[in-house]
Amino acid sequence: MNDVCSINNLTQCLLDGGVSPDLANLLTILGGVVLVATVPLVTVIFLIWIERKIAARVQDRLGPNRVGPFGLLQSVADAVKMLTKEDITPMGADKFIYNLAPIIAFATVVLIWAIIPFTPLHIGADLSIGILYFVAVASIGTVKIMIAGWSSNNKYALLGAFRTIAQLLSYEVPLVLSLLIPVMIAGTLGMQDMVRAQGSMWFVFMAPVAAVMFFIANLAETGRAPFDLLEAESEIIAGYNIEYSGFKWGMFMAGEFMHAFTAALLAAVIFLGGWWGPFVEQVPALGFVYLGLKTAVVYIFGLILRSTVPRVRIDQLMALNWKWLVPISVANVLITALLLKVVDAIGLAPQSGDFFAHLPQTLVLLVGNLVLMFGVATVLRNRGRAQRLADEAAHPVEHEDAPVVVGAVGH
Amino acid sequence: MAVVNEWAFIGVFFAIAWVFPFVPIFGARLLAPHKPNAIKQSTYECGVETVGDTWVQFKVQYYIYGLIFLVFDVEIVFLFPWALAYSQLDFFGFFAGLVFVFFLFDALVYAWRKDALEWV
């Protein structure tokens, strides 16, 4: 029936060709794995270019523009350079763990791509516990920093690792709490089902607070400004990867760039409707385009933010997490849970998969989220004012006399 | 069969994902020069020779954050099944979740009041 062999019908194709069923199955899986795992490897080369170009534009520079058209081959040249750089292992380093860390750094990010639904048909593995898989794999990333910092035999690396671990552990809490909301609304942990549940309404409209929390926590998890304490050059020189050189250092960097993109991709999948868009049911390949566009919006917003804002201090970072994000996330979970039950009780829950059927529930949840945001903003404002008044009482500012305006018109 | 396939995919993916970063690192070992000497391999810390043992004691603050994280992490593990089955629960399900979250949020408030969240 199928004339052309592709990844979609590879098993059948191999069976027709007289390969035993088990082997055909294994080959199909292997083909799929290599395909899915190659995508991030290829994208990361262009991600670095995009990131440098956008940072350059924000800072009124040109960015890379010498190697290849528009400097597109700059990252390739960098990779070649890194390949030929001497790889130095410092004395006293724990060699096995020291070499393991960059591999973990890269592998953990690639592993997340296994569960990302690109189109209605294309997904690595549609696990029934996709979200849990993401949380589990993403938290392995913390290990790489600990072992890199610990095995380098360098005090800066160790101090950087301590701080980074504290940051990553802390921001995992609001990250995972914000993931509870889509799970609650969609009633599933599978990524493909999660996207399908957003067919008539994206979760970002039902749970804007959770979406913002997810974005902020991901900025911290991926070490992006204003939370880039992982690489605080001015304080700990570079942090956990200070002793790495050559391609091992390159693996940390590539993993970091890719993690930022993967986080944007997940935000697009979980909150912005993933591959949903016009005609995607008829032409599944369009899903790639829609998902790409949505990811680009989130990703480029993060990039502009990164090159705009300064870095926060470690105490500010921890205070922001434990005193703001965690309480707000917990309140958000409870408010959403309550509103979902209220919506159910008064009969506003969507009966069909239609856009208008989802509208009442969305409005109720949106209002709940807005009230929460307003409450937080009010508390912030009042505390800020109290702080300012206390500061002014402690250090009174000497006001100069009002300047005399010479030749003022009137009076 | 489909379920087995999904997990087989993850299994193969785990194997491949480790190979991918290993290849360029190994390639660099073949291509790059390798001439170690004592000065090149010495630890770099701000231009002066490093003093004392690297594996220093660390601040107790990290333990406290670790403990609070652990409390919340375990809480969230228990909240996931609750959230997953939430649409099938009745109104009592909400109160069960409320009480559960309240007891653990209590711990955060306690830590906050004891100044455990301050970076000292």
Whether the CB of A260 is below 8 Å from some CB of chain B: the reply is no
How many contacts, defined by CB atoms under 8 Å, are there between A and B?
Answer: 213
Q: What is the pLDDT of residue A406?
A: 56
Binary contact (A242, B44; C-beta < 8 A): yes
* C-alpha dist (Å) from residue A33 to A38, A40, A91, A122, B78: 8, 12, 38, 12, 32
Hey, how many other C-beta atoms are within 10 angstroms of the C-beta on A136?
A: 11
Whether the CB of B92 is below 8 Å from some CB of chain A: the reply is no
Q: Is the dihedral of CA A288, A294, A296, A298 positive or negative?
A: negative
Output DSSP code: residue A304: H
Comparing CB atoms, the residue among A87, A158, A166 nearest residue B32 is A87
Whether the CB of A126 is below 8 Å from some CB of chain B: the reply is yes
Instruction: Show residues of chain A in contact with B80, CB under 8 Å.
Output: 131-132, 180, 183, 189
Reduce the DSSP state of residue A6 to 3 states and report it: coil
Q: Nearest CA to A102 among A82, A84, A119?
A: A82
Residue of A nearest to B89 (CA): A341
B 34-73 → A contacts, CB under 8 A: 34-36, 38, 40-46, 50, 54-56, 58-59, 61-62, 65-66, 68-69, 72-73
- Alpha carbon A170 to chain centroid, angstroms: 15
Binary contact (A169, B79; C-beta < 8 A): no
Domain boundaries of chain B, sorted by first residue? 2-113
CATH of span B2-113? 1.20.58.1610
- In tens digits, chain A (411 residues) has pLDDT values of 445 566 666 667 777 776 777 777 777 778 877 877 788 888 888 888 888 888 888 888 888 888 888 888 888 888 888 888 888 888 877 888 888 888 888 888 888 888 888 888 777 778 888 888 898 888 888 888 888 888 887 878 888 888 888 888 888 889 999 999 999 888 888 888 888 888 888 888 888 888 998 999 998 888 887 887 777 666 666 778 778 888 888 888 888 888 889 999 999 999 988 888 788 777 778 888 888 899 999 999 988 888 888 888 888 888 888 888 888 888 888 888 888 888 887 877 777 667 777 777 778 788 888 888 888 888 888 888 888 888 888 877 666 555 555 555 544
Hey, how many other C-beta atoms are within 10 angstroms of the C-beta on A342?
A: 14
Q: Is the dihedral of CA A14, A16, A19, A22 positive or negative?
A: positive
Q: Which of A28, A38, A88, A89 to mutate to test the interface with B (most CBs of B within 10 A)?
A: A88
Q: Are A54 and A307 in contact (CB under 8 A)?
A: yes
Whether the CB of A384 is below 8 Å from some CB of chain B: the reply is no
Which amino acid appears at position B68 of this protein? I
Q: pTM for this one?
A: 0.86
d(CA A381, CA A375): 10
* Omega cis (within 30) before A226: yes
- Tokens, residue A194: 């999660």
Comparing CB atoms, the residue among A25, A166, A341 nearest residue B91 is A341
Q: Bin A347: left if φ > 0, else alpha if -120 < ψ < 50, else beta.
A: left
Q: What is the pLDDT of residue A215?
A: 92
**In B72-98, which positions are buried (b, 16+ CB within 10 angstroms) versus exposed (e)?**
beebbeebbebbbebbebeeebbeebe
A363/chain B closest Cα distance in angstroms: 18
Binary contact (B44, A243; C-beta < 8 A): yes
* C-alpha dist (Å) from residue A226 to A47, A275, A307: 20, 30, 9
